[in-house]
């Protein structure tokens, strides 16, 4: 009964969100005329105060996702990727029942206590290059399209993986692209033994995609970089890994905050047995990396000796670092969290727009101790029209709301102004979406 009740609540939330977006023109956060102390790069589709991340601590309730009693993931769950939207928090992962691996997902329950599994979405469909394994999912949202990048293999081998993509319009049925794999193995390249664990990002200011990925040179591994104009056709950067530490680094997770790049990754160690830990490095350009430091090491019985596939997300006012670990012959997913230390206030102003506006919709998170102030600025007169942010707001999930303000009277061109403030250093308001019609 508990699961059924929460499923119905979550389903109604998703339907409300889809209906509210149906006729809106959304204003992207990168399309602005002025910003101060705000960050819209670190986590795409989220605008928050600038911050720095504290130390990570593992949750006592780990592991947070385990194999099912039966079904497609009854032996292993691994390679987590969290996608946060205003309506829902998704956890994509790969799993196995003892042979081939496929990709499925779970959703955060509305109370934030557990993950509710939703089933498998990518599995063997008798294709050639990925007929045996489909693993390591990662999502990039481009407009209404969700692009799922993953690694596939046609045999049960550590080598020979290639990178492919599936797409979904606004989340629904996933369609594997016919052009797959989108990045193939070339015997003349440094990564001739396979590519796996890609982390893809779209940089709207330049209109380019970047992909950091693990490449294998026989048993040795390094992290490479590729770029693309469209997310389908990729060009590798350089003739060697952009990041490599002996005896190997794998599974990059890159965060760009608008000024610097931060990479979380798994570092191999040779200490009489195969061991990995999660580390972090920094870069000014995403190519040259330095300041390597440990983030998490295996310490718990369930973790065995390997921590793999880090993934960073922000929701419920915490930084969440998900990872997977193998004890014996089974993989599980764990979690560590950290506080973020935020600036006290920030401002974002949209580009100037000439379209007629009758309604403004904002999806936002406003935890205790924080505030959001929104205005429409009439460009001709400089007049500011306050948008009552909390009026008629309805709850999407904990502390996340959607509000619509109507009967707007503006002459000529206009812009939106948002002021974010906090009185608590480890809390920040979050804007998920601004739309108008």
Q: Mark which of 289, 305, 338 sits at the end of a domain.
A: 338
Domains in the chain: how many in total?
A: 2
One domain for residues 228 and 79: yes
One domain for residues 317 and 395: no
| Cβ–Cβ under 8 Å, residues 117 and 102 | no
Query: Sign (positive/negative) of CA torsion 351, 354, 355, 358?
Result: positive
Whether the bond into 247 is cis, omega within 30 of 0: yes
What secondary structure letter does DSSP report for 218? T
Give 122: exposed, middle or buried? Use CB within 10 Å, 0-12, 13-18, 19+: buried
Q: Mark which of 338, 367, 399 sits at the end of a domain.
A: 338
Question: If you count them, how many residues does the chain have?
Answer: 437
One domain for residues 148 and 118: yes
> Each residue of 191-249: pLDDT tens digit?
999 999 999 999 988 999 999 999 998 888 999 999 999 999 999 999 999 999 988 99
Which residues are within 8 A (CB) of 273 and not within 5 positions of it... i.e. 6 or more apart? 305
One domain for residues 361 and 271: no
Give 127: exposed, middle or buried? Use CB within 10 Å, 0-12, 13-18, 19+: middle
Residue 390, phi then psi, degrees to nearest 5: -100, -5
One domain for residues 16 and 92: no
One domain for residues 358 and 323: no
| Cβ–Cβ under 8 Å, residues 317 and 54 | no
Whether the bond into 219 is cis, omega within 30 of 0: no
CATH assignment at residue 248: 2.115.10.20
| Cβ–Cβ under 8 Å, residues 334 and 64 | yes
Give 347: exposed, middle or buried? Use CB within 10 Å, 0-12, 13-18, 19+: middle
The full 3-state SS of 121-172, as one line of letters, equals EECCCCCCCCCCEEEEEEEEEECCEEEEEEEEECCCCCCCCEEEEEEEECCC
Whether the bond into 290 is cis, omega within 30 of 0: no
One domain for residues 171 and 24: no
One domain for residues 181 and 254: yes
Question: Residue 103: is its pLDDT beyond 50?
Answer: yes
Mean of the per-residue pLDDT values for the chain?
A: 90
Residues 271-280, buried b or exposed e (16+ Cβ, 10 A)? Answer: eeeebbbbbb
| Cβ–Cβ under 8 Å, residues 224 and 215 | yes
| Cβ–Cβ under 8 Å, residues 414 and 376 | yes
The mean-pLDDT minimum among 28-42, 71-85, 127-141, 266-280 falls in 266-280
The mean-pLDDT minimum among 3-7, 70-74, 294-298, 380-384 falls in 3-7
Average pLDDT of 153-172? 88
pLDDT higher for 355 or 163? 163
Question: Residue 122: is its pLDDT beyond 50?
Answer: yes
Question: Residue 2: is its pLDDT beyond 50?
Answer: no
Of 231, 219, 270, 261, residue with least CA distance to 243? 261
Domain that holds residue 132: 55-338
Band of pLDDT at residue 125, cut at 50, 70 and 90: low
One domain for residues 18 and 46: yes
> Each residue of 273-291: pLDDT tens digit?
678 999 999 999 999 999 9
Q: Mark which of 281, 303, 338 sits at the end of a domain.
A: 338
| Cβ–Cβ under 8 Å, residues 76 and 96 | yes
CATH assignment at residue 8: 2.60.120
Predicted local confidence at residue 35, as pLDDT: 97
Predicted local confidence at residue 273, as pLDDT: 64
Question: How many angstroms separate the Cα of 222 from the Cα of each of 79, 175, 219, 226?
Answer: 18, 30, 10, 13
Q: Which residue has the tokens 């330049």?
A: 206
Order of strands across the sheet with 318-327?
57-58, 330-338, 318-327, 307-315
Query: Which token pair is 143?
Result: 């407009």
One domain for residues 301 and 209: yes
One domain for residues 21 and 140: no
152 alpha carbon, distance to own chain's centre: 20
Average pLDDT of 402-424? 93
One domain for residues 263 and 391: no
Residue 177: CB atoms within 10 Å: 14
């Amino acid at each position: 009964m508990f699961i059924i009740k929460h499923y119905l609540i979550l389903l109604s939330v998703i339907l409300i969100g889809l209906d509210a977006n149906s006729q809106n023109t959304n204003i992207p956060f990168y399309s602005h005329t002025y910003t101060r102390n705000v960050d819209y790069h670190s986590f795409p589709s989220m605008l928050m105060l600038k911050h720095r991340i504290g130390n990570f601590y593992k949750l006592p309730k780990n592991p947070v996702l385990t194999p099912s009693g039966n079904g497609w993931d009854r032996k292993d769950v691994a390679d987590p990727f969290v996608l946060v939207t205003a309506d829902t928090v998704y956890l994509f992962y790969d799993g196995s029942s003892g042979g081939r691996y496929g990709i499925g997902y779970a959703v955060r329950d509305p109370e934030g206590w557990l993950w509710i599994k939703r089933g498998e979405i990518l599995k063997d469909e008798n294709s050639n290059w990925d007929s045996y394994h489909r693993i390591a999912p990662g999502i990039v949202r481009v407009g209404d399209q969700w692009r799922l990048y993953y690694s596939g293999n046609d045999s049960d081998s550590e080598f020979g993986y290639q990178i492919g993509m599936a797409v979904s319009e606004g989340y629904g049925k996933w369609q594997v692209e016919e052009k797959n794999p989108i990045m193939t193995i070339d015997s003349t390249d440094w990564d001739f033994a396979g590519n796996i664990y890609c982390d893809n990002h779209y940089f709207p200011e330049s209109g380019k995609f970047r992909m950091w990925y693990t490449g294998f040179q026989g048993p040795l591994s390094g992290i490479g970089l590729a770029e693309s104009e469209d997310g389908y056709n990729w060009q590798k950067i350089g003739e060697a890994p952009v990041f490599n530490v002996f005896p190997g680094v794998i599974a990059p997770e890159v965060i760009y905050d608008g000024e610097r790049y931060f990479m979380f990754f798994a570092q191999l160690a040779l200490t009489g047995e195969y061991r990995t830990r999660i580390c972090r490095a920094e870069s000014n350009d995403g190519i040259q990396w330095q300041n390597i430091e440990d983030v998490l090491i295996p310490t718990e019985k369930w973790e065995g000796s390997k921590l793999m596939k880090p993934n960073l997300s922000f929701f419920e006012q915490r930084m969440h670092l998900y990872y997977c670990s193998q004890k014996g012959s089974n993989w599980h997913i764990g979690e560590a969290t950290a506080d973020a230390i935020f600036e006290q206030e920030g401002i974002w102003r949209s580009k100037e727009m000439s379209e007629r506006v009758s309604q403004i919709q904002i999806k936002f998170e406003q935890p205790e101790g924080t505030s959001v102030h929104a205005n429409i600025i009439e460009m001709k007169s400089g007049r500011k029209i306050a948008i009552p942010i909390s009026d008629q707001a309805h709850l999407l999930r904990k502390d996340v709301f959607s509000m619509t303000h109507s009967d707007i009277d503006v002459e000529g061109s206009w812009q939106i102004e948002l002021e974010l403030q906090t009185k608590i250093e480890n809390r920040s308001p979050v804007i998920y979406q601004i739309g108008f019609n």
